[in-house]
Structure 1
Amino acid sequence: MILRKLVIVGLVFLTLLQSCDKGFENLNTDPTTSTEAYPYQFMANALINSVTYNMNRNRNFTNELMQVTVAIGDGDGRVFRYDFRRNWADYLWNGHFIELSNYKDMYSKALEPINYNRSYQGISLILQTWTYSILTDTYGDIPYSESNLGRDSLILEPRFDAQHDIYVDMFSKLDSANNLLRAGDAIDAVHDPVYSGSVANWRKFGNSLFLRLLLRVAHKPEVKEYAIAKIKEILESNRSNYPIIANNDESAILRWTGEGAYVSPYMAIRVQDFRAVAIAEFFIDFLRDSNDPRINIPEYGTSSINRWGIAPVSGNYVGVPSGYAQGSEDYSRMSYFYSADQNSGVNSLQREPLAGMIMNFSEVEFIKAEAALKGWISGDPKVAFYSGAESCIKLWLPNWSGTIQAHLAASDIDWSDQDTFEEKMERIHMQKYMALFLVDMQQWFEHRRTGYPVLPKGAGLQNGGEMPARMFYPVYVQSSNPTNYKEAVARQGADAINTKVWWQKP
């Protein structure tokens, strides 16, 4: 009898326990939060991180190679002498592959019925292409079709795709993005740090990026016919279906407002370190000798304060020759990027809102100029040349009242119809070089593609005086993905800085 009662009590207890368990997870879930991610949640932070990686590598790598700055010193590992260590490779590789996971997650979330949004799908494809293009143009063959699949597909050793195949697929992604964005599905303006929710402008950026990448490979026999035809389609025969960036306001820029998360990564650099790097002669001489308004702004009242924050020396702008020989002369810093007290009113580069440059209108105009010069589209190349040069100045100085023809003529750098093809290319790409100031690695990529602008060669250059063609692969990739690493090296060439990537090879 006692045993029977104990059994009954036990059964009742179990029943009550089960009843208490019902709805337990719901009761212990915060009703004000969600465990579900939405497409927009992947966007802002990933963009901030991506632009930060680009800005840091622009500052200490691209600027040094492309004679914008000189990090003075006689030690080893001086990039301005074409000397850099293998560990330089890790930062960009690691950072961008991490953010690619976020961009891909944004796409997959935007495919779900509850979140379905064609605009987020299209923006994701653009951001994936933008990121992959920087990676492949920096390293060559990279993990692409199998990259970022370790979590979902357990592919922990992705194969390296050939750069030709990567470009073909990037073109496909950008065409798909254009079609998706045509639908105009609304996106959240608060979480869009580039275009504040303008789907139309994202579409224009995607097609402008398309032009950048088409131009980069249009000389390669494997894709030449397609690339030139597509450039003509975008710029001429089918313009209504391929809107592109058409003015400065439509430039793709993550503006550092100084509020919340939008604080420039340059602000994390100590003021004395930011000032320590000298301006290179090649960069400053062109600006000074052409009386460029970006370094001499009358409305600021003094030549020592200007939009790019370049400090003069004894009233003049003086640079340091890039690639100078070790021990040849005790070079000291001359002009440099000036960073003043926060309350001084000086708009220094260290806190410049436009430093988060992704792609600007001027670059698009110079793409047009080159395409017209080469006869791929109709029209006079000097029209786009003038537009590109003027818009670059007005991006930084919206109230500039000069005319570009008068400015260029007075500086003896004007367009001349009598110039040779090479001289016209040099004029286009000298101005494009200025337009690409702060734009990730694009100055370096364009110089490798064209040889312009022609850079002086200092006596101290290493690497045989040859401009590096790529970065090394990160060292750890050799041990973490040995089979595919070796396959990539066998196909592309030695893992060395002089091994040309596909679009550089004859």
Structure 2
Amino acid sequence: MKNRYIKIFCVAIVGALTLTSCDKGFEEMNKNPNALTDPAVKSMFTLAEIYVDGQDFSNTRGNNIYAAQIVQQFSSPSGAGSKYAYSSEYSAALFGETYGKGLNQIFQLLSVVEDTPENSNMIQACKIMKVFLFQKLTDTYGEVPYFEAGKGYNGGVYSPKYDTQEAIYNDLLKELDEAGTALDAGKPFVGSADLYYQSDVARWKKLANSLMLRVAMRLSKVNPAKAQEFVEKAYAKGVFTSNEDSLVLQHDAGPPGVKTNPITSAWVRNDLNGGEANIKFSKTFIDLLKNTNDPRLRIYAKLEATGDNNPASQQGLANDAKEFPGGDKKLFSDPNTSTVLRYDAPTLIMSYAEVQFLLAEAAVKGWNVGGSAQTYYENGVRAAMNILTIFGDKVPAVSLAEYNTYIATYPFKSGGTQAEKIEQIITQKWIVLLFNGFEAFSEYRRTGYPVLVPVNDPTGETQGTIPRRLIYDQSELITNEANYKEAIQRQGLDLMTTRIWWDK
């Protein structure tokens, strides 16, 4: 693994140009006579995979401080997400970094790879990674540059138009459908340069279909017929079938930067400080796991100052807290540095458990996904507990006996209303989406679950309304003004309370 990471540094300077707007950098690369003419495409592919997970900048600001605090997985007395306050830097982090690193890397790679049968699998994998990035972008902000993004490499477009979210979603589904079908085990791939699945085409196909399942379900309110069509198609084509299929990106313990976990490295390096962190687990999260005797709590949390991971000792910070009660930060729960907050902790980008919860919701709606909601729900809970073994063995794994006790005590509400069943499913998904605040934020807006108590703080921008989106990178007013203004005229004012297309 370390050797594979080392290879990427020869292209990182060229392939990871940091942009604050989606058009910056493309023009320079298009005209630069010293730009790559014989690129190490496999190394570029590796770096693209790493960038799909994001880097420290967007994960610290957009994920930990904003999205994960809005959905009350974490909390901070001065956190912009906890209080719904506006920070231009934090709000814009995902926008700038995604266009400037992840998408830039993919567009550059696609611009230099010939569309031949030998390169087909690499091209299809790039399309799948592009969907990951664009879905996160459009779900976070609404309309974004899509069809013209990246055309600075081969189209001379440096101020790309914003596209409607409906048009983006239609194309995301098309891209996944086509890419999954076109992947061919009989054609070359990239060998060990593939950090995700080591060029196992069958698993990439499952990834494309599982992501299609996620994308399709996002349309459940705004276009339920289309959501059902593509959920059923994804299931029929073949989604994740075990934790072995889960998309897990491994990391190294150092040096800090591209190789380390983009969430944990910044947290441990800058904020944790022996339990003196300002960001703690939310009371909402800790109380739910404590009150249900959830065996995952000992793996997720501990008091960093003492190393105590006893569930009974854990205490979450309320999201409306203006200071630490009692004045001692060390009494409040941190992510466990022996497991989930290790420097080299792997990233769970998409899990089999999430897929099972998506299928459970589809079954509740009566869609044809080949199983019962209860079976999918129970499989999802068990998978969510089992997947935690990726974080090492310093804390005992959840045993089958513990799972059996948990599921017997809190069984699926098979006799409940549709709303009660979906609330139960999404609440479990909210737990497994820990550290994936952007996805948890999207699922909260789509479903309204888990039930959160809004925070009405004087520093907030929403007067106590839980945000529905983040505000665009304001550099767009300088670099792409006409297209930015056209987008907000269609979508609504560039505010945290403006609802995006599928959030109706």
2:213 corresponding residue in structure 1: 211
The alignment of Structure 1 onto Structure 2 pairs a total of residues equal to 447
* 1:103 maps onto 2:103 in alignment: no
Partner SS, residue 212 of structure 2: helix
Larger radius of gyration: 1
Partner SS, residue 296 of structure 2: helix
CA distance in 2, matches of 1:430, 1:255: 27
Amino acid at match of 1:479: I
**Counterparts in 2 of 1:178 and 1:184: CA distance versus 1, 3 Å:** farther
CA distance in 2, matches of 1:173, 1:478: 30
Amino acid at match of 1:389: V
1:389 corresponding residue in structure 2: 381
TM-superposed CA distance for 1:288, in Å, is 1.6
Amino acid at match of 2:110: Y
Contact 1:359 1:439 in 2 (8 A): no
Q: Of 394, 418, 423, which residue of structure 1 is paired with 2:420?
A: 423
Partner SS, residue 129 of structure 2: helix
TM-superposed CA distance for 1:464, in Å, is 2.3
Name the stretch that deviates more: 364-373 or 179-188: 179-188
Partner SS, residue 385 of structure 2: helix
**Counterparts in 2 of 1:413 and 1:184: CA distance versus 1, 3 Å:** farther
Q: Deviations over 1:377-416 (max 9, x none)?
A: 2532010000001100000037533257633346x43212
Contact 1:136 1:142 in 2 (8 A): yes
**Counterparts in 2 of 1:62 and 1:218: CA distance versus 1, 3 Å:** same
**Counterparts in 2 of 1:284 and 1:178: CA distance versus 1, 3 Å:** same
CA distance in 2, matches of 1:36, 1:250: 34
Q: What is the TM-score when the length of structure 1 is the normalising length?
A: 0.81
Amino acid at match of 1:482: E
Alignment RMSD = 2.8
Amino acid at match of 2:239: I
CA distance in 2, matches of 1:151, 1:181: 25
CA distance in 1, matches of 2:380, 2:323: 41
Amino acid at match of 1:232: E
* 1:316 maps onto 2:313 in alignment: yes
Q: Of 170, 176, 179, which residue of structure 2 is paired with 1:177?
A: 179
Runs (5+) with no aligned partner, structure 2: 1-35, 391-396
1:252 corresponding residue in structure 2: 247
Contact 2:253 2:344 in 1 (8 A): no
Partner SS, residue 153 of structure 1: coil
1:26 corresponding residue in structure 2: none
Contact 1:470 1:500 in 2 (8 A): yes
TM-superposed CA distance for 1:78, in Å, is 2.7
1:407 corresponding residue in structure 2: 405
* 1:229 maps onto 2:229 in alignment: yes
Amino acid at match of 2:314: Y
TM-superposed CA distance for 1:278, in Å, is 1.9
* 1:444 maps onto 2:445 in alignment: no
CA distance in 2, matches of 1:313, 1:395: 20
Q: Deviations over 1:294-342 (max 9, x none)?
A: 2336xx9xx9599xx9855996111111123x479666433332566xx
Runs (5+) with no aligned partner, structure 1: 1-33, 341-345
TM-superposed CA distance for 1:267, in Å, is 2.3
TM-superposed CA distance for 1:65, in Å, is 0.9
Contact 1:69 1:279 in 2 (8 A): yes
TM-superposed CA distance for 1:186, in Å, is 3.0
Q: Deviations over 1:107-163 (max 9, x none)?
A: 3444345x8321111101101111111111111011111112124322111111000
Contact 2:210 2:234 in 1 (8 A): no
Alignment of 1:494-505 (within 5 A): 494-505=493-504
Q: Deviations over 1:441-475 (max 9, x none)?
A: 10000000000010123454841221111111111
Contact 1:123 1:177 in 2 (8 A): yes
1:186 corresponding residue in structure 2: 188
1:70 corresponding residue in structure 2: 75
Contact 1:362 1:388 in 2 (8 A): yes
* 1:467 maps onto 2:458 in alignment: no
Partner SS, residue 357 of structure 1: strand
Contact 2:247 2:349 in 1 (8 A): yes
* 1:432 maps onto 2:424 in alignment: no
Partner SS, residue 207 of structure 1: helix
**Counterparts in 2 of 1:319 and 1:339: CA distance versus 1, 3 Å:** closer
- Identity fraction in percent: 26
CA distance in 2, matches of 1:190, 1:397: 24
Contact 2:68 2:437 in 1 (8 A): no
Q: Deviations over 1:151-201 (max 9, x none)?
A: 432211111100000011111111111122145423233311221222221
Partner SS, residue 94 of structure 2: helix
Contact 1:184 1:200 in 2 (8 A): no
Q: What is the TM-score when the length of structure 2 is the normalising length?
A: 0.81
Alignment of 1:284-323 (within 5 A): 284-296=286-298, 311=308, 316-323=313-320
**Counterparts in 2 of 1:421 and 1:332: CA distance versus 1, 3 Å:** farther
Q: Deviations over 1:181-222 (max 9, x none)?
A: 14542323331122122222111111111000100013324x
CA distance in 2, matches of 1:133, 1:467: 21
**Counterparts in 2 of 1:112 and 1:210: CA distance versus 1, 3 Å:** closer
Partner SS, residue 398 of structure 2: coil
Partner SS, residue 155 of structure 1: coil
2:64 corresponding residue in structure 1: 59
Contact 1:358 1:440 in 2 (8 A): no
TM-superposed CA distance for 1:63, in Å, is 1.8
